[in-house]
Amino acid sequence: MPSGKLDGKVAVVTGGSRGIGAAVATRFAEEGASVVIGYRSGGEEASELAAKLEGSGARCLAVKADVASPEQTSALFDRTVEAFGRMDVLASCAGINHFGGLQELTPEMANQLFGVNTQGQLFAAQQAARHMTAGGRIILTSSNASRRSIFQHTLYAASKAAVEAMVRCLSIELGQRGITINAVAPGATKTDMAAKNAVKYQPPGLGLSAEEWLSLSYALDHVATPAEVAGAYVFLAGDDAGYISGRTLQTESCVF
């Protein structure tokens, strides 16, 4: 029986109740990790996934934690160590999307976007690192939107660009302790988030359907599935990525 890439590791996946996070939790469990599935509102989905993964032989736990709350984030990692005795890998997948024109933006919207997508990931990294020893892996989630010009996507794109800056800077501090920190920047991936927003990524006035736009936009022949994107997180969590830090791994090239 071949051994898994993450045998004996303990991993926390925020945003693990749905979409990319659920696929990452599944792949981590298949690779031998014990997995804590963090969720905000999807308690039922998170518990169902935990039960399914446990049924396949993994150790798994669903824990409610809003990453916009540093206290809840801190408690998520305390609970992980209490349950499984150590903390090796963070996959920070929780995120929210936003589109809006400049004159419609409010401080509340900016606080919400940066509170979840940027601060939420910063304090998840901080609290994960508090429990990690040498060999720890922190993987945050950016987006290919961070480097593109997308109509009325300012808050989201900025909140994700900040994540790429954070991993570059934190790689030095965490590197001193033998911990790597990187980000994955997915392109369009078939999840609830994409179903709601994919059509909005085209230039104004083009008028294409989501399917038409996506088929023009991406280098590969189909829109990514969450499982395909999860492979990038498995790579960054595993031994083969032991000397990669401060980097952002984009999952495919974007034609526009």
Contact flag: residue 42 with ligand NAP (CB under 6 A): yes
Counting residues that bind ligand NAP (by CB under 6 A) gives 28
Contact flag: residue 41 with ligand NAP (CB under 6 A): yes
Q: How far is the CB of 142 from ligand NAP (least distance, A)?
A: 7
- CB-CB neighbours of 209 under 10 Å: 11
Question: Any catalytic annotation for residue 160?
Answer: yes
Tokens encoding 87? 């903390």
Residues numbered 197 to 216 that lie near ligand NAP (CB under 6 A) are: none
**Among 21, 89, 180, 233, which residue interacts with ligand NAP (rule: CB under 6 A)?**
21
65: phi then psi, degrees, rounded to nearest 5: -160, 115
The β-bridge relationship of strands 180-185 and 248-250 is parallel
Contact flag: residue 128 with ligand NAP (CB under 6 A): no
68: phi then psi, degrees, rounded to nearest 5: -75, -10
Rounded distance, CA 84 to CA 59, Å? 9
Tokens encoding 63? 């824990």
Rounded distance, CA 214 to CA 208, Å? 9
Q: Which of 5, 17, 146, 156 is catalytic?
A: 156
Question: Any catalytic annotation for residue 39?
Answer: no
Contact flag: residue 146 with ligand NAP (CB under 6 A): no
Using the contact rule CB under 6 A, the part of the chain among 3-11, 18-26, 125-133, 212-220 near ligand NAP is 18-26
Interior/surface letters 171-203, b for 16+ CB within 10 angstroms, e for the rest: beebeeeebbbbbbbbbbbbbebbeebbbebbe
Between 4 and 185, name the residue whose CB sits nearer to ligand NAP: 185
Could you tell me which of 78, 243, 83 has the C-alpha nearest to residue 175? 243
Could you tell me which of 35, 65, 70 has the C-alpha nearest to residue 50? 35
Question: Any catalytic annotation for residue 56?
Answer: no
Q: Which of 5, 9, 160, 190 is catalytic?
A: 160
| Interface mask toward ligand NAP for 60-99; x: CB under 6 A | ------xxx------------------------xxxx---
Tokens encoding 221? 């022949």
Contact flag: residue 192 with ligand NAP (CB under 6 A): yes
Between 17 and 34, name the residue whose CB sits nearer to ligand NAP: 17
The residues carrying an active-site annotation are: 142-143, 156, 160
Residues that bind ligand NAP (CB under 6 A): 14-15, 17-21, 39-42, 66-68, 93-96, 116, 141, 143, 186, 188-189, 191-194
